[in-house]
Amino acid sequence: MQPIIIAIDGYSSCGKSTLAKALAKRLGYSYMDTGAMYRAVTLFAIQHQIDVHELSDAEIDEMVDQIQITFSYNRDKEISETYLNGENVEALIRGKEVSEMVSLVSQQSAIRRRMIDLQRRAGKNKGIVLDGRDIGTVVFPDAELKLFMTAKANIRAERRYQELKAKGQELDFEEILKNIEERDFNDTNRKEHPLRKAEDAIVLDNSTMNQEEQLDWVMNLFYNKINGDLKS
């Protein structure tokens, strides 16, 4: 069975990373959380009090040269964790401050160019699942299987609220909903590689689906693709 590239795009808090990780684990594929990459860059900028909007492309290149992003699978927690310059920042990049800034940081063309180059190199040998905002449209437009995930904003906000609550972070639901709606607007209206559905992507609206149902649904698509029953 020849390995393929699976590209998962969609709106924030749709569970893209959760599905992508489960899919990679089931298939024995590599996994890359591209959203975490932009979050790590955002965290670096926050920690060093850098306003990326005031930097030239050359200065952004210089900043990114100081950043090393890696992923490591935590067998005890059964999750992939993000490391920024050797430090586990998985919890930090999911916090409120980063969430509020990441869409604006990821709009910077110089940052996107550098991240996209890293993502393409990672997928050179295929057998990888990537999730983000422009995987199927920009990073890997020739990916063999493309998904576009969506769900109602209030459902995504509730899921995010419960996720943060489980981590001991108490935030107002309306504030989370507002953040999600703002991120949707920024992602779909940014000048550089806006969020949009690739023409050949298959829509997954998971508003009423649990994680296991989503995984089974995508696995069925995967085997149809491998067996030649799913059109490219």
CATH of the domain at 147: 3.40.50.300
Looking at residues 97-114, what average pLDDT do you find? Answer: 89
Residue 219 lies in a domain: yes
Confidence grade of residue 229 (pLDDT, cut at 50, 70, 90): low
Give the pLDDT band (50/70/90) at residue 76: confident
Residue 141, amino acid: P
Q: Is residue 151 part of a domain?
A: yes
- Burial group, residue 5, by CB count within 10 angstroms (0-12, 13-18, 19+): buried
- Domain assignment present for residue 232? The answer is no
Q: Residue range 96-120: average pLDDT? A: 89
Q: Are 219 and 225 in contact (CB under 8 A)?
A: no
Within-domain flag for 94: yes
How many angstroms separate the CA atoms of 77 and 80, rounded? Answer: 9
Write down the pLDDT at residue 227. Answer: 87
Q: Is residue 61 part of a domain?
A: yes
Name the residue type at position 36.
A
Structural domain includes residue 231:
no
Residue 142: CB partners within 8 Å, gap ≥ 6? Answer: 5
Instruction: Provide the domain count of the chain.
Output: 1
Cβ distance 147 to 201 under 8 Å? yes
Question: How large is the average pLDDT for residues 72-91?
Answer: 85
Contact indicator for 217, 204 with CB cutoff of 8 Å: yes
pTM: 0.77
Residues spanned by the domain of 214: 5-226
In this prediction, residues 83-90 reach a mean pLDDT of: 94
> How far is Cα 80 from Cα 189, in angstroms, rounded to an integer?
30
CA 60/CA 195 separation, integer angstroms:
22
* Any domain includes 125: yes
Examine residue 59 and state whether it is found in any structural domain, yes or no: yes
What are the angstrom distances between the C-alpha of 180 and each of 18, 32, 153, 183, 193?
Answer: 17, 22, 7, 5, 19
| Nearest by Cα to 25 from 59, 65, 75, 62 | 75
Please tell me the distance from the alpha carbon of residue 163 to that of residue 161, in angstroms, as a whole number: 5
